[in-house]
Structure 1
Amino acid sequence: MNPVQIGQVRKGLEDRFTGLIDMSDQNGQPEQRHDAFLSRALAALAVQIQRPCGNAEAARAVFDGKDDHGLDAVAVEMRGETGRITLVQAKWGAKSKQASFGEGEVHRMLNGLDMILEREFDRFNSRFQRHVSLLEQVLDTPSPKITLVPALLRAEPLNADVRTLLEGKINTLNYAEEMVDYEVLDLRDFRREILGESATSKIKLVARLENYGLEPGPPKAVFGTMTTEDVARWFSDNRRGLFARNIRDSLDLTDVNIKIRNTLLEQPQNFWYFSNGITLLCDTIKRTAGRPGGVGEFHLSGASVVNGAQTVSAIHRAYGTDAEKTAQGRVLVRLISLEDCPPDFGDQVTTSTNTQNPIATRDFKSLDDVQTTLRDDFSFRLGLTYVIQRAGERGPEGDKGCSITEAAVALAATHPNAELAAIARRDHSNLWEDRYYRVLFTPHIDAYHVWRKVQLLRVVKARLKELEEGGLARRAAAMAGYGDLLITHVVFQRLDTRSISDRETDWDAQLAHAVELTEPALRWVKSGIDAEYGPNSQVLAAMRNTERIRRVADRVVRGMAAGGSAPALDFYQLSERSGRQADAARTLVQAERIEDGTVLEFRPVTRPERREMTDWLDADPRRRQATWRNVARNQLRWHADGKSYSASGLVRKMRRDASGQDQNVQGTLHWHVPGEGSLADLAAKVRAETGLDVGDEDES
Structure 2
Amino acid sequence: MQLKNWWVKHGKRLVAKNIRHSLGNTDVNLQIRQTSLDSPDLFWYFNNGITMIADRTDRAPAGAAARSAGNFIFKGASIVNGAQTVSTLGRISEDEKLGIVRVPFRVILLSGAPEDLGQKITRANNLQNRIESRDFVAQDPEQTRLRQEMAIEKVDYQFVRGDDASLGVNSCELLELTAALACASGDSSLAVQVKTGIGRFFVDLKKAPYKTLFNPSVSGAKAFNCVLVLRAINNWIDDKKLGMVKKSGTEWGVLVHGNMILTAAIFAKIPSNKLDCPIADFRKELALLDIDGISGSALEKMVDKIKKEYANNFLAVLFKNPTMSRSVYGSGVA
Same fold (TM over 0.5): yes
The aligned residue for residue 491 of structure 1 is: 266
- Cα distance in 2 between the residues matched to 1:478 and 1:449: 30
Matched, 1:537 2:313: yes
The aligned residue for residue 144 of structure 2 is: 372
Q: 1:404 aligns with which of 153, 158, 174?
A: 174
Q: Equivalent pairs: percent with the same residue?
A: 22
Matched, 1:470 2:243: yes
- Cα distance in 1 between the residues matched to 2:225 and 2:128: 37
- Cα distance in 1 between the residues matched to 2:164 and 2:196: 21
The aligned residue for residue 515 of structure 1 is: 292
CA shift, 1:554, in A, is: 1.5
Describe the shift of the 1:400–1:509 C-alpha distance in structure 2 as closer, same or farther (beyond 3 A): closer
CA shift, 1:394, in A, is: 5.2
Q: Residue 406 of structure 1 contacts residue 454 of structure 1 at CA under 8 Å; is this kept in 2?
A: yes
Secondary structure of the corresponding residue to residue 402 of structure 1: strand
- Cα distance in 1 between the residues matched to 2:321 and 2:260: 13
The aligned residue for residue 120 of structure 2 is: none
Matched, 1:439 2:216: no
CA shift, 1:409, in A, is: 0.8
- The residue identity in structure 2 corresponding to 1:412 is A
Counterparts of 1:419-438 in structure 2, within 5 Å, are 419-434=189-204, 435-438=208-211
The aligned residue for residue 34 of structure 2 is: none
Describe the shift of the 1:551–1:393 C-alpha distance in structure 2 as closer, same or farther (beyond 3 A): farther
Q: Residue 385 of structure 1 contacts residue 396 of structure 1 at CA under 8 Å; is this kept in 2?
A: no
- Cα distance in 1 between the residues matched to 2:147 and 2:178: 14
The aligned residue for residue 233 of structure 2 is: 460
Q: Residue 499 of structure 1 contacts residue 505 of structure 1 at CA under 8 Å; is this kept in 2?
A: no
Structure 1: segments with no counterpart, 5+ residues: 1-354, 559-700
Q: Residue 180 of structure 2 contacts residue 227 of structure 2 at CA under 8 Å; is this kept in 1?
A: yes
Describe the shift of the 1:492–1:378 C-alpha distance in structure 2 as closer, same or farther (beyond 3 A): same
CA shift, 1:442, in A, is: 1.4
1:194-228, Cα deviation, whole Å (9 max, x unpaired): xxxxxxxxxxxxxxxxxxxxxxxxxxxxxxxxxxx
Q: Residue 482 of structure 1 contacts residue 540 of structure 1 at CA under 8 Å; is this kept in 2?
A: yes
CA shift, 1:506, in A, is: 4.3
Q: 1:526 aligns with which of 290, 303, 312?
A: 303
The aligned residue for residue 330 of structure 2 is: 554
- Cα distance in 2 between the residues matched to 1:508 and 1:523: 27
1:8-57, Cα deviation, whole Å (9 max, x unpaired): xxxxxxxxxxxxxxxxxxxxxxxxxxxxxxxxxxxxxxxxxxxxxxxxxx
Aligned pair count?
Answer: 201
Q: Residue 188 of structure 2 contacts residue 325 of structure 2 at CA under 8 Å; is this kept in 1?
A: yes
- Cα distance in 2 between the residues matched to 1:433 and 1:414: 21
Q: Residue 460 of structure 1 contacts residue 518 of structure 1 at CA under 8 Å; is this kept in 2?
A: yes
Structure 2: segments with no counterpart, 5+ residues: 1-126
- Cα distance in 1 between the residues matched to 2:256 and 2:232: 14
- The residue identity in structure 1 corresponding to 2:324 is R
Describe the shift of the 1:508–1:424 C-alpha distance in structure 2 as closer, same or farther (beyond 3 A): same
- Cα distance in 2 between the residues matched to 1:499 and 1:441: 19
- The residue identity in structure 2 corresponding to 1:509 is E
CA shift, 1:456, in A, is: 0.8
The aligned residue for residue 172 of structure 1 is: none
CA shift, 1:403, in A, is: 0.4
1:261-298, Cα deviation, whole Å (9 max, x unpaired): xxxxxxxxxxxxxxxxxxxxxxxxxxxxxxxxxxxxxx
- Cα distance in 1 between the residues matched to 2:224 and 2:320: 25
Describe the shift of the 1:490–1:508 C-alpha distance in structure 2 as closer, same or farther (beyond 3 A): farther
- Cα distance in 2 between the residues matched to 1:544 and 1:508: 35
Q: Residue 409 of structure 1 contacts residue 424 of structure 1 at CA under 8 Å; is this kept in 2?
A: yes
The aligned residue for residue 388 of structure 1 is: 159
Secondary structure of the corresponding residue to residue 498 of structure 1: helix
Matched, 1:482 2:253: no
Secondary structure of the corresponding residue to residue 395 of structure 1: coil
- The residue identity in structure 2 corresponding to 1:473 is K
CA shift, 1:397, in A, is: 2.3
CA shift, 1:516, in A, is: 2.4
Q: Report the structure number with the largest CA radius of gyration.
A: 1
Describe the shift of the 1:506–1:370 C-alpha distance in structure 2 as closer, same or farther (beyond 3 A): closer
CA shift, 1:496, in A, is: 2.0
- The residue identity in structure 2 corresponding to 1:479 is V
Describe the shift of the 1:425–1:387 C-alpha distance in structure 2 as closer, same or farther (beyond 3 A): same
- The residue identity in structure 2 corresponding to 1:445 is V
Describe the shift of the 1:425–1:394 C-alpha distance in structure 2 as closer, same or farther (beyond 3 A): farther
CA shift, 1:505, in A, is: 4.7
- Cα distance in 2 between the residues matched to 1:510 and 1:399: 14
CA shift, 1:395, in A, is: 3.0
- Cα distance in 2 between the residues matched to 1:553 and 1:396: 32
Describe the shift of the 1:548–1:360 C-alpha distance in structure 2 as closer, same or farther (beyond 3 A): same
CA shift, 1:393, in A, is: 3.8
TM-score w.r.t. length of structure 2? 0.56
1:567-598, Cα deviation, whole Å (9 max, x unpaired): xxxxxxxxxxxxxxxxxxxxxxxxxxxxxxxx
Describe the shift of the 1:419–1:365 C-alpha distance in structure 2 as closer, same or farther (beyond 3 A): same
Q: Residue 407 of structure 1 contacts residue 454 of structure 1 at CA under 8 Å; is this kept in 2?
A: yes
Secondary structure of the corresponding residue to residue 544 of structure 1: coil
- Cα distance in 1 between the residues matched to 2:274 and 2:305: 30
- Cα distance in 1 between the residues matched to 2:164 and 2:237: 23
Q: Residue 385 of structure 1 contacts residue 401 of structure 1 at CA under 8 Å; is this kept in 2?
A: yes
Secondary structure of the corresponding residue to residue 275 of structure 2: coil
The aligned residue for residue 222 of structure 2 is: 449
- Cα distance in 2 between the residues matched to 1:554 and 1:416: 10
Q: Residue 150 of structure 2 contacts residue 220 of structure 2 at CA under 8 Å; is this kept in 1?
A: yes
- Cα distance in 1 between the residues matched to 2:285 and 2:292: 10
- The residue identity in structure 2 corresponding to 1:408 is T
- Cα distance in 2 between the residues matched to 1:514 and 1:546: 25
- Cα distance in 2 between the residues matched to 1:393 and 1:543: 32
CA shift, 1:437, in A, is: 0.2
- The residue identity in structure 1 corresponding to 2:198 is H
Q: Residue 492 of structure 1 contacts residue 514 of structure 1 at CA under 8 Å; is this kept in 2?
A: no
- Cα distance in 2 between the residues matched to 1:410 and 1:551: 21
Counterparts of 1:651-670 in structure 2, within 5 Å, are none
CA RMSD across the alignment: 2.0
Counterparts of 1:585-596 in structure 2, within 5 Å, are none
